[in-house]
A and B are shown apart, each in its own frame.
Chain A
Amino acid sequence: MQVTNKLTPFFENLNFERDDNTMVINFGPQHPSAHGQLRLVLELDGELVTKAYPDIGYLHRGIEKMAENMTYNEFLPTTDRLDYIASTSNNYAYALAVEKLIGLEVPRRAQVIRTMLLELNRIISHLFFLATHALDVGAMSVFLYAFREREFAMDLMEDYCGARLTHSAVRIGGVPLDLPKGWLENLTIYLDKLPQNIKMYEDLLTENRIWKMRLEDVGTLSPEDAMSWGCSGVMLRGSGIPYDIRKEEPYELYGELDFDIPISQSCDSLGRYKLYMEEMRQSKRILEQLIEMYPQTEQKLMAHAPQYISAPKEEIMTQNYALMQHFVLVTQGMRPPKGEVYVPTESPKGELGFYIKSEGEPYAYRLKCRAPSFYHTGLLQEILVGTYIADVVTIIGSTNIVFGEVDR
């Protein structure tokens, strides 16, 4: 029995020796491979994990509670803090849910820009996954190379919206800004270099003996389990289920774009890693098509819906009625119609959906963020059992969980 006082605190679940020769260890929440604030309580028999209990909530900020106390536009920058690796996907998923609720048509140029940002963000997020996953497994140089590419992509983001991580570059009803001069040229340069870089990562990893030993047949997830645990995104496609929301329930411009959905039948971490690499190539393909689409669009950026969306700045400055509308929208906030909506989107991590219950007030009555990482964390309690303790880090990295999104 531990004797606790203020200087020697109680160590929860730390019980080093037990009668049955098992050991209970505590992994995280301050572990560099815990991808944030994951605490895992592992029961070990030798090196074999016999029980795993993921403990979350260390990054809980009550974002859903805040949503009930903020107007719809106020809440948008808060969504950046969900999956902070790919904040545009969160902004977009939220904006799309509100747009569906009020039935807005977004101008085509805004759609092109949004889709571009989403795909660029997917590349950023996947590069981050690759870097941290490789670092967890032990490949330091891949981390440095992948972060170099990610920096250039974040520079592009910075050129567009001024922020590198918390973009808030999507608004309800469109985008606030047009692309700056020369941005598309820079994007083209970036995309031209991307395939060589992806090839370099693959040369470093795919056939690497150590990488294969660490990833092959590690973290196997059967299709039935993947569905039962509510997996989505790469976790689902890595188990051989070809379901991508961009393809199956197309939103934005994905219905018009030509891209493939890679799937893997191997159900293990190596298969998932290969999917991430292939998805980056597909994102590049999508971006190239969007670059061609962009010049054919008209200049309008925000939807015209005076009841919900402020008029463009020129109109606010010149027309009295637009100014009045703007004043009401800023001071009171928009009031979407009564009703409820659930809109799924394919974020880099999986199915990110927002459920919004509106009672016709400027504040959402209830907002639920369906975060893919939350369910992938739940999966850990089953997928880790029966693996060796050295593989725990590989599996956590392979699920690609981000704790801003898990804890909300």
Chain B
Amino acid sequence: MRKYTPKDNVQAKAYYTDRFWVAPRVPRQAVEDEHFKAVVEALGERVKEAYVEINNLVLHIDATQNYAVLETLKDTCGYKICSEISAVDYLAKEGEFEIFYQMLNLDKAKRVRVVCRLKKGLAIESVVPLFKSANFAEREMYDMFGIKANNHPFLKRILMPDDWEGHPLLKTYPLQGDEFASWYEVDKIFGKEYRDIIGPENRDPARIDRYDTKRFSRVGYEVPFDADISSGETKTPIEYSTTFLTDYNTGTKQLDKRK
């Protein structure tokens, strides 16, 4: 049987993978360090799985216990800094997010990553009362993945505009942006009624139409402005922003409509 690939992941994928190729795994070591052992012991039954992966102690916990676990880590184990909070999107494969908290103990110079899984549509408890750094980090997580944090003092988009739709780091969100993104600035600057005149924003800066004689010069021979060089071949349907492409020579006064 062919391998099942999630169809709602629109990110770049390897175009060829050897059928016998099996990806190796980064070795996971058992917890042997004295300090890490004490940490696992202090957390007791709340730890579902614990191992050391590349100098970090990784603790898998239940998503509902994140606050209690981080509180124990902070108060008992000396993990005073929460250096990073973010998520990984596993919605396509497993229907859940993986949320990680990257913790740092300054005295011992040790790092712990607390990992939990959160089902789609559920919210996680905010850890802002414990670590103020979570304020921005959880806002970013909400902005990028749409994961809400309960009891966050000011849960609002942070990097994207407030009226943006969609969460850009989801695997279902295309790199070049979606339909909403292509109209966002047009609607904002000119208004919806100018959609027909301006057209959607070209969000791929590397897009080139090989028959375009308006914007690109021909190498080797000269062609008059806007000449048709396709010799009968159908044009690639690319919608340009026509705002600055109004051909003043031929006298179509598109811009005048705006006055």
Contacts and interface: CB of A to CB of B under 8 A. Distances in A.
B148 interface: no
Contact of A341 (B26, B81, B82): B26
A79 interface: no
Interface in A8-63: 56-57, 60, 62
Nearest to B10: A69
B158 interface: yes
B58 to A, nearest CB: 8
Contacts of B12: 68-70, 363
Contacts of A332: 14-16
A202 interface: no
B119 to A, nearest CB: 18
Given A227-B80, A338-B26, A375 B106 contact: no
B159 A65 contact: no
Interface string B134-175: 011100100010000000000001111100000011000101
B88 A339 contact: no
Contacts of B80: 227-228
Contact of A339 (B54, B100, B102): B54
B203 to A, nearest CB: 11
A377 B135 CA distance: 11
B246 interface: no
Contacts of A70: 12
Interface in A330-372: 332-333, 335, 337-344, 351, 353, 355, 357-363, 365-366, 368, 370
Majority SS of interface residues in chain A? mixed
Nearest to A103: B26
Contact of B136 (A6, A101, A339, A374): A374
Contact of B83 (A65, A232, A335, A357): A232
Interface stretch (A154-162, A241-249, A264-272): A241-249
A281 interface: no
Interface residues of A, number: 58
Interface string A203-231: 00000000000000000000001011110
Nearest to A307: B24
A66 interface: yes
A43 B194 CA distance: 37
A80 interface: no
A100 interface: yes
Contacts of B16: 332
Contact of B133 (A68, A229, A335): A229
B202 interface: no
A403 B129 CA distance: 27
B61 to A, nearest CB: 16
Contact of A225 (B132, B158, B168): B132
Contacts, number: 139
Interface in B10-61: 11-16, 23-26, 28, 53-56, 58
Contact of B135 (A249, A362, A366, A378): A378
A337 B159 contact: no
Contact of A359 (B23, B54, B84): B23
Contact of A337 (B26, B157, B169): B26
Given A227-B106, A342-B102, A353-B84, A65 B26 contact: no
A382 interface: yes
Contacts of B82: 230
Nearest to A74: B12
B111 interface: yes
B113 interface: yes
Interface in A64-114: 64-66, 68-70, 100-101, 103
A121 to B, nearest CB: 22
Given A62-B168, A65-B175, A355-B84, A361 B132 contact: no
Q: Which of A227, A230, A377 counts the most chain B CB atoms within 10 A?
A: A230
Contacts of B106: 227, 241, 243
B88 A230 contact: no
B88 A365 contact: yes
B131 interface: yes
8 tightest A-B CB contacts, nearest first: A360-B23, A339-B26, A230-B133, A378-B136, A57-B159, A248-B109, A337-B24, A69-B12
Given A6-B190, A332-B15, A363-B14, 10 more contacts: A65-B168, A249-B109, A339-B25, A341-B54, A343-B54, A355-B84, A358-B26, A363-B13, A365-B88, A375-B133
5 contacts: A6-B191, A64-B169, A339-B26, A365-B88, A381-B135
